[in-house]
Amino acid sequence: MTRRLITLLAAVALLLGMTTACNRIGIEDLEKELVGVWWDEYEHSDVTEQGVAFDRVLLAVQALADHTGCIYVGVYDSENENLVAIYGGPEVAGFTWHLLEDGSLQLAEANMVKGTGDGQGYYGDDMTNVSSTNMTYTNGNVTVTNTIYSGTLNKAEGEKVTQIVDNVCDTPMNNPAVGQVIGSDGKNYNYNRLPSGVTAVAKIVYLGSDTNVPSPYNHGLALAMKDEYGMPWEAAKTYCSKTKNTDNPVPNATWMLPSIHQWGTMGARAGGSTTYMTLRDGFRTIGGQNLKKVPYWTSTPNGSIFAGSFGFSNGTLDFYNRDIKLWVRACLAF
């Protein structure tokens, strides 16, 4: 009888082991299905911390096969079809994940100290707060709940994956602000908080819709930290739009020669009673080179012989023969 009991217990133990293994195999298969980009898009009117209005939100959760992931929020101005700002990203909304048997996702912040930038407390920061977010995977959908959102995400397929990743996920910039610098790693920082080994390549001087720049490079402008050498107009355009883009640290951003309109916009956003002087003299204190009190080329042509310039001695616009050499300061549109 003892032998029978031992045999029975052994059979039960084997059965339990097989059941556990089957459950584990089931979870592993579900985890494979979970890997991908999940998204929801909806109307919500608000403003960014810089006061830029938006009325549409794209929430994206990217789950990777190595059990890491990230939350991203892109906010849009629907009227102009502009991406206004991106929140989240690996630094503040990265997480590790594991699927439990009840379908819930066990999340842990990949970076345990959440960023506390100027945008803390705004819509995007609340949306990407991993510690207050719950996720569940059931019936092929991901349900997300946090302090201000509760909804079901759909899995992106085909071109939708590329669209979301290119426009929202594939950027290391997080909650940019005027006055910050863009580092050689493609991320934005307050200048006094640049990490060791990262150098400043541009200063953010404008945030907001710029209809002169095609999407997705139309929600911010940053000026290079120093001048390029003097050159004719055609060479200046080629250098800024092609040569500098061979070493561009920021995904979804492009170097270019600013237009007359863009020079004026950047000067106005800089503030002060004489805005061109505020813009001109705002680089030396952050490790850059102030603009010179001379004319700089713009990308704006005037007929077939002349092109526009912006003068930093008096803030005036003028036109010069394209063949002469003027100073050049490249602009990064992101």
CA 4 to each of CA 9, 53, 63, 192, 255: distance values in angstroms, whole numbers, following the listed order: 9, 76, 49, 75, 80
User: Which pairs count as long-range contacts for 243-246, CB under 8 Å and 24+ apart, including other chains?
Assistant: 244/330
Does the pLDDT at position 2 exceed 70? no
Integer distance in angstroms from the first to the last C-alpha of the chain?
Answer: 78
Does the pLDDT at position 233 exceed 50? yes
> DSSP class of residue 36?
E
Tokens read off for 234: 């055609």
Nearest to 207 by CA among 180, 229, 232: 180
- Give the tens place of pLDDT for each residue, 41-79: 999 998 876 677 889 999 999 999 888 898 999 888 888
Q: What is the pLDDT of residue 191?
A: 93
How far is residue 180's CA from residue 87's CA, in Å, rounded to a whole number?
16
pTM: 0.57
Q: Please say whether the beta carbons of 251 and 186 come within 8 A.
A: yes
| Average predicted confidence (pLDDT) for the chain | 81
DSSP string computed for 304-323 = TTEEEEEETTT--EEEEETT
Q: Please say whether the beta carbons of 221 and 262 come within 8 A.
A: yes
Tokens read off for 286: 């952050």
CA 175 to chain CA centroid, Å, is 7
- Give the tens place of pLDDT for each residue, 31-47: 899 999 999 999 999 88
Give the residue-averaged pLDDT of 288-300: 95
Does the pLDDT at position 6 exceed 90? no
Does the pLDDT at position 86 exceed 50? yes
Beta bridge partners of 189: 181
* Greater model confidence, 122 or 124: 124
How far is residue 310's CA from residue 258's CA, in Å, rounded to a whole number?
10
